[in-house]
Amino acid sequence: MRNHSLIKTLTSLRGNPRMCVYTEPLWGIPFFLYMPFVSVYMAALMVSDQQIGMITSVFMLFRALSSFLSGALTDKLGRKRATFIFDMLAWSIPCLIWAFSQNFWWFIAAAMFNGLAEVTHNSWNCLLIEDADKSTLVDIYAWIHISGLLAVFFAPLAGLLVEGLNLVLAVRILYLFSFTVMTLKFFILYKYCDETEVGKQRLRETRGMSIPALISGYGAVARKLFASPQMVLTLVITACFIITSTVTNTFFGLYVTRDLDMPDYFLAYFPIIRSVIMLLFLFIIQPKIARFSLKSPMLVGVCLYIVAYALLIALPVGSFWLLLFCILLESCAHGLVWPRRDSIQALFIDPKERARLNSVLASIIFVVTIPFGYLSGWLSSLNARLPFVLILFIFAVQFAVVLSSRSLRTANVRAIEAMRAADMG
């Protein structure tokens, strides 16, 4: 076990990558405690399906706006400072608002603050990888996913809380706990991280420049993005996954509890099953396929997603074991696809323009995805299965894009060369 590539990567991490990976559970544990109950909590406070969809669209709108500003803010403030400021704005403050929410408008306000998370996503991602050994990127991103999966094992506490108390009171307690633990994480990361070398260079280059002046260069950055087949591929793949994951996170809980007749507290246990499968997958399957291809595992993963969601749509009421099988398929798909999607972006992006390219890329993605929140809410109000039909269509589009992509073959070559170079070193 000690010679496992993931274990070697974890124990060899130093500096910012080490702090980012090691502190991630302090965000992941509270997030995965409350996440399964978000939509049912809103529904319990008399928020309709269409309003839930509207809240999701407002969230995506503010993600688009904060993504657009994130590159300039990350360069101007520095990776370390931007991460701390916007972690507090995008997570600590919304947790307090959610904890005391009374109606639709409270959730709208929280969505606006939470949408600012794209700034910290950009700056934190720069902290994570800019000083890291590029040959370890797949394993580093795998550990980020693993930390979230391990955090899910605390979910039974949330299930017991919901089962023992009423749903609304239990979720309010979870949000207050999340505020406390996440805020602690943000202070620890700020104290023990250093500004990256690229970040220091960008601080020097942007000294004396205003935010509007930095944004004025986005046109050239956008042209650079669209001139790169690899970045266009990343844009399409990421947009598809943002849409599908957002719709699933928003409406899965409502569908399972209202239409498949599962108890509310069951929602806390499904992520554990998913996490066990994904951990086994990452530790056993991932090392066997990591050196060969990025494209083939992604194609297999998208196919598994399609089968899982097609089965989910067809489930009869009360079919617990079939639902469990859907989660198994979706978990395997997730383990195949997500580390590679992150790696493709990290491999092809220009390191000197990482913050601004990430900013423009994310802005475009979220502008594209804004309508899908309201659309999925409207579809859910007609029939609870329709949002998942929409997901099936998007995965079919993604499969066609990945299958026909020549850029992804280049990504395969780059990843393999990087890992071989590391072995020779």
Exposed (0-12), middle (13-18) or buried (19+): which is 381, by Cβ within 10 Å? middle
Q: What is the pTM of this model?
A: 0.79
* Residues 182-211: tens digit of each pLDDT: 999 999 999 999 898 888 888 888 888 888
String of DSSP letters for 123-147:
HHHHHHHTTS-GGGHHHHHHHHHHH
pLDDT digits (tens, 9 = 90+) for 265-321: 778 777 777 778 777 776 777 667 666 567 778 888 899 999 999 999 998 887 888
**Using an 8 Å Cβ cutoff, are 330 and 277 in contact?**
no
Separation of alpha carbons 302 and 314, rounded Å: 19
Q: What pLDDT score was predicted for residue 95? A: 97
Per-residue model confidence (pLDDT) at position 384: 87
Contact (Cβ atoms closer than 8 angstroms) between residue 57 and residue 373: yes
Q: Which residues, 6+ apart, have CB-to-CB distance to 400 below 8 Å?
A: none
Do residues 137 and 346 make contact, with C-beta atoms less than 8 angstroms apart? yes
**CATH number, residue 194:** 1.20.1250.20
Looking at the 3D structure of the chain, how many domains does it have? 1
Q: Which domain covers residue 306, as residue numbers?
A: 5-424
Confidence (pLDDT) at 48:
92
Amino acid 346: pLDDT: 66
> Which pLDDT score is estimated for 402?
82
Low-confidence stretches of the chain (pLDDT < 70) are 1-5, 134-135, 138, 217, 282, 286-287, 289-293, 339, 342-343, 345-355, 406-425
pLDDT at 424: 34
Please work out, in degrees rounded to the nearest 5, the angle formed at the alpha carbon of residue 119 by the alpha carbons of 377 and 90: 60
Per-residue confidence (pLDDT) for residue 122, from 0 to 100: 84
- What's the angle, vertex CA 70, arms to CA 66 and CA 73, rounded to 5? 120
Q: Supply the pLDDT for residue 348.
A: 67
Nearest Cα residue to 270 out of 299, 249, 298, 286: 249
Q: For the CA atoms of the chain, what is the radius of gyration? A: 21
Looking at residue 406, its pLDDT comes to 66
